[in-house]
Amino acid sequence: MKAIRRFTVRTVLPQSLGALDALAANLRWSWHEPTRQLFAEIDPVIWQDIAGDPVALLGAVSPARIQELADNAAFVARANALKEDLDRYTTEPRWYQSLASAPKHIAYFSPEFGIAAALPQYSGGLGILAGDHLKSASDLGLPLTGLGLFYRSGYFKQSISSDGWQQEAYPVLDPDGLPLTLTRHADGTPALVSLALPFGRTLHARIWQVAVGRVTLLLLDTDIPENEESLRGVTDRLYGGGGEHRLLQELLLGIGGVRALRIWTELTGAPEAEVFHTNEGHAGFQGLERISTLISEGLTFAEALQVVRAGTVFTTHTPVPAGIDRFDRGLVQQYFSGDLLPGVDVWEVLALGAETYPGGSHDVFNMAVMGLRLGQHANGVSQLHGEVSRGMFAGLWPGFDASDVPITSVTNGVHAPTWTDPLLLKLAEDKLGTSDTTAAEWSSGAVTDAELWAVKGRMRANLVADARRRITEAWHEENPGASAPAWFDEVLDPDVLTIGFARRVPTYKRLTLMLEDEKRLISLLTSKKRPVQLVIAGKSHPADDEGKRLIQKLVRFAQDPELRRRLVFLPNYDIAMAQVLYPGCDVWLNNPLRPLEACGTSGMKAALNGALNLSILDGWWNEYYDGEDGWAIPSADAAGDAAERDKLEAESLYDLIENQIAPRFYRRDDKGVPSRWMKSVRHTLDTLSPELSADRMVREYVQRLYMPAAKAAEAISEGDFAGGRELAQWKSLVQSAWGGVSVVHVESGGLAPVPQVGDALSVRAQVQLGTLTPDDVAVQVVYGTSREGDDLVDTATVELAPLQDDALDAHDPMTGTLFLDGSTTFAGTVTLQRPGSFGYNVRVVPKNPYLVNPAEMGLVAVAH
């Protein structure tokens, strides 16, 4: 008989063990090794079975064991000491508190958060990145609050059928069995946010709180009695349902998220958020809720838009237009035509998401486009992805080169305490005197090659044991009551070169590129002298049959009796698996179609554990590969078609493994240590660990985006939003008058017959401003290297200054040219700083102290 309802009954701990409740309730345990060791000591078998979840552990341990621990003075003392340490961690000043003029509160919106396996609210890299962002924000002391949704079934649980096909299951989560706390008003009633929907319906959501160190994460949950049945499932699954279901989720995330934040700040006394960071376009509607609030305070939509833009940071993770959320325009119009956002006109909303560029569709509402229009500060997630994003969205800034598009980049990082194996952490503590593996001197002689190699060997052995356990458990799930095949105990070898590959499985990540030449791969895997083994994991989106077919092809290939001990696919890839998989690999493989990998943080996590990367030069690897930290797979960009490209890149992959990677791994000294390999491992740990850390990433966000955004928001809001009112009026004036702006004439001089480095080029430009004034514009010389076709690259700018007001009939003193059109003269000099081909042009762009970037308004006049 099946239960009609399930719920979790929490253990009541003796008073002496009260510290355990506090430690379990704060997710710092997910990255604080001493706390994890304490919980593991309670019952190591249960701890492993429940994937390191303290709440589940305390509910599963016998009362007798609880009483035994309560009577153990040493254990109680350790628990209390760790509780005191947690209290200090959450209250004492950290890095952020040393900064001057930093924002007092930052709101961070994301559709998913991957913090711990115990809280499965993530699908892949975007969520893991968001979780790592919160953890490093906590470690650095940022006053940051996360906003997301609580999905009752998370993403999905993956299993593989006997014929290799991915199957999805959606187990329902019980929030009472998770480290969550319900947000309540002072009278004890649950706090709710409500959204007015079409046809008189209302969507309600309660607010769960998650303690992530010193950071709070708020998750909205619609599975409550206050909702009609059809609306209780809005937060059922991550990325589930069709267009309208997804739209409802994103309306709740953005609009409901801001309302939840407002309730939480009122209840806790926290300051109002000054900066709003949207992690991908899913949460873009948060800006509209803030606009609605400002309209209620007396601003127009245009004025409120300027205020909201100033304090908004938008991060795009998408390298292809197909990956962007686009909703039917009529559907969006229907939802915003009612009382959802008081004071906000539906046509203003639709304009924000309109694809008004060549190739865009009039029938859709584009969430990334809205995110860019609502955010004055925008970034991609690696240097290469920044370039790709500037090209992809260049149509929003017509007339500007892609390099001028106002999207910068902050390369992703990963949270080292979460992803660094405890064995490596202990080695750093014992030999290098630090628990911060990103700051340890791994090149120091204090750690020998033999010691580091031994730790890598133990990590590899742990992976082998974990893989065998997982495939055995998966077998029993698919074949209840049947004995697992005996050869499962021989899957993988702890002494064999191990290559890992794990990620989401869209087609562009090319899961099966390694199968391009099956005979060649079999030869590598089964080599007697230098064998290789592959450990692979990943989930395909439930609606992506092409991705599922790739998994099926790989699984079927791995079922060959000749290969099954050297190639394994592990089902249900999650955080718990990843924390054993990354450290246990010697090499991490990544072979996407370049440049479709926005960042690729899985390889970062492997590098933090001394694994060497073998990757296409895409994402983060494109900027960090130096020839010693791994290998670059050459991209066959000149290939005639996709099939030829795959063939050429797969051949390069095989060649690298056979001729460089395997020989280096198996070449041992007289102590059995691969000294040349260990040189690369040390180099990776030394050079990449600090750069790939989420602490570095979050510091960049603070200094390059959060602080400027807070400053801009403060300036534009002063004096009852005087700056916002002024900027809106000025923008309207400039936009209506821009048709009268042109560069009439450009003259230059001052150079010797043969220009040399250090010479000064004098430039004068006659500019017709129409009804604008010189204060409304910047006249710039754009100069750089001139290539074939006169295209300028590696450009820089110098702003020209207006001369005295020109009379209607004025002579250019440099050339004697007579101007009769009332244009204004701008002049300045450009110092020639490097030899080679040189070219320049002159452009006019809007200029205002509230603008962050000259391309911001998408207006430019260029000399011809």
* pLDDT greater than 80 at residue 9: no
Helix 73-91 and helix 63-70, axial crossing angle in degrees, nearest 10 = 80
- What average pLDDT does the segment 702-725 reach? 98
Residue range 98-153, pLDDT digits in tens: 999 999 999 999 999 999 999 999 998 999 999 999 999 999 999 999 999 999 99
The torsion angles phi and psi of 794, rounded to 5 degrees, stand at 50, 50
Q: In sequence order, which residues have a C-beta less than 8 Å from that of residue 838 and are 6 or more positions away?
A: 755, 783, 784, 785, 786, 832
Nearest to 261 by CA among 251, 272, 252, 250: 272
- 225 cis-preceded (ω within 30 degrees of 0): no
* Rounded-to-integer distance, Cα 272 and Cα 263, Å: 10
Supply the pLDDT for residue 797.
94
Supply the pLDDT for residue 323.
84
- For the chain, give percent helix, strand, coil, nearest 5: 45, 20, 35
- What average pLDDT does the segment 206-227 reach? 98
Beta bridge partners of 587: 499, 612
Give, for 853, the enclosing helix (H) or strand (E). none
- What average pLDDT does the segment 801-813 reach? 61
* Rounded-to-integer distance, Cα 389 and Cα 407, Å: 7
- What average pLDDT does the segment 794-807 reach? 83
With beta carbons less than 8 A apart as the criterion, state whether 392 and 319 touch.
yes
With beta carbons less than 8 A apart as the criterion, state whether 97 and 138 touch.
no
Burial class (CB in 10 A: 0-12, 13-18, 19+), 165: middle
Residue range 289-339, pLDDT digits in tens: 999 999 999 999 999 999 999 999 999 998 888 889 999 999 999 999 999
* pLDDT greater than 60 at residue 807: no
- What average pLDDT does the segment 425-454 reach? 96
Beta strand residue intervals within 769-819, DSSP E: 777-786, 792-802, 810-811, 818-819
* Rounded-to-integer distance, Cα 620 and Cα 52, Å: 30
Nearest to 95 by CA among 144, 140, 142, 143: 140
CA distances from 139 to 418, 681, 789 (A): 12, 27, 51
- Collapsed DSSP state (helix, strand, coil) of residue 75: helix
Identity of the amino acid at 285: F
* pLDDT greater than 70 at residue 13: yes
Question: Per-residue confidence at 809, pLDDT binned at 50, 70, 90?
Answer: very low
Token pair 């014929």 in the structure block, residue? 163
With beta carbons less than 8 A apart as the criterion, state whether 633 and 652 touch.
yes
- What average pLDDT does the segment 518-525 reach? 97
Q: In sequence order, which residues have a C-beta less than 8 Å from that of residue 546 and are 6 or more positions away?
A: 507
Q: Label residue 858 left, alpha or beta by phi (over 0 means left) and psi (-120 to 50 means alpha).
A: left
CA angle in degrees (0–180, nearest 5) for 8-12-16: 150
Identity of the amino acid at 858: G
With beta carbons less than 8 A apart as the criterion, state whether 43 and 91 touch.
no
Give the gyration radius of the chain's Cα atoms. 30
Nearest to 281 by CA among 366, 198, 195: 366
With beta carbons less than 8 A apart as the criterion, state whether 564 and 487 touch.
yes
With beta carbons less than 8 A apart as the criterion, state whether 233 and 136 touch.
no
Q: Which residues of 3-22 are buried (b: 16+ CB within 10 A; e: fewer)?
A: eeeeeeeebebeebbebbbe
* pLDDT greater than 60 at residue 74: yes
* Rounded-to-integer distance, Cα 367 and Cα 359, Å: 16
With beta carbons less than 8 A apart as the criterion, state whether 795 and 782 touch.
yes
* pLDDT greater than 90 at residue 856: yes
Supply the pLDDT for residue 416.
98
CA angle in degrees (0–180, nearest 5) for 647-653-659: 130
Question: Per-residue confidence at 818, pLDDT binned at 50, 70, 90?
Answer: very low
Supply the pLDDT for residue 47.
93
- Collapsed DSSP state (helix, strand, coil) of residue 707: helix
Cα of 136 vs its chain's centroid, Å: 13
CA distances from 382 to 410, 413, 618, 796 (A): 6, 10, 9, 22
Cα of 806 vs its chain's centroid, Å: 52
Across 545-559, 574-588, 793-807, least confident range: 793-807
The rounded percent of the chain whose pLDDT value lies above 90 is: 89
Cα of 808 vs its chain's centroid, Å: 56
Q: How far apart are the first and last CA of the chain?
A: 80
- What average pLDDT does the segment 783-789 reach? 83
* Rounded-to-integer distance, Cα 52 and Cα 41, Å: 11
**Tokens encoding 629:** 């930290």
The torsion angles phi and psi of 612, rounded to 5 degrees, stand at -95, 140
- What average pLDDT does the segment 37-59 reach? 92
pTM of the model: 0.95
Beta strand residue intervals within 410-562, DSSP E: 497-502, 532-537
Token pair 């041992």 in the structure block, residue? 668
Supply the pLDDT for residue 353.
98
The torsion angles phi and psi of 315, rounded to 5 degrees, stand at -110, 125
**Tokens encoding 682:** 């040390």
Supply the pLDDT for residue 820.
46
Burial class (CB in 10 A: 0-12, 13-18, 19+), 395: middle
Supply the pLDDT for residue 119.
95
DSSP 354-396: ---STT--TTEEEHHHHHHHH-SEEEESSHHHHHHHHHHTGGG
* Rounded-to-integer distance, Cα 350 and Cα 353, Å: 6
- What average pLDDT does the segment 428-437 reach? 95
- Average pLDDT value for the chain: 94
Across 88-92, 485-489, 707-711, least confident range: 485-489
With beta carbons less than 8 A apart as the criterion, state whether 839 and 748 touch.
no
215 or 821: which leads in pLDDT: 215
Sign of CA dihedral 24, 151, 52, 455: negative
Supply the pLDDT for residue 49.
86
**Tokens encoding 815:** 């050339």
* Rounded-to-integer distance, Cα 595 and Cα 592, Å: 8
Give, for 380, the enclosing helix (H) or strand (E). strand 377-380
* pLDDT greater than 70 at residue 258: yes
**Tokens encoding 357:** 């560029």
Q: In sequence order, which residues have a C-beta less than 8 Å from that of residue 576 and are 6 or more positions away?
A: 51, 52, 117
Q: Strand 861-862 and strand 777-786: pairing?
A: unpaired
DSSP 591-637: -PPTT--S--THHHHHHHTTPEEEEES-TTHHHH--SSSEEEEPP-T
Question: Per-residue confidence at 788, pLDDT binned at 50, 70, 90?
Answer: confident
Question: Per-residue confidence at 552, pLDDT binned at 50, 70, 90?
Answer: very high
Supply the pLDDT for residue 134.
98
Token pair 């480290």 in the structure block, residue? 179
- What average pLDDT does the segment 460-488 reach? 93
- What average pLDDT does the segment 506-532 reach? 95
**Tokens encoding 31:** 């990255």
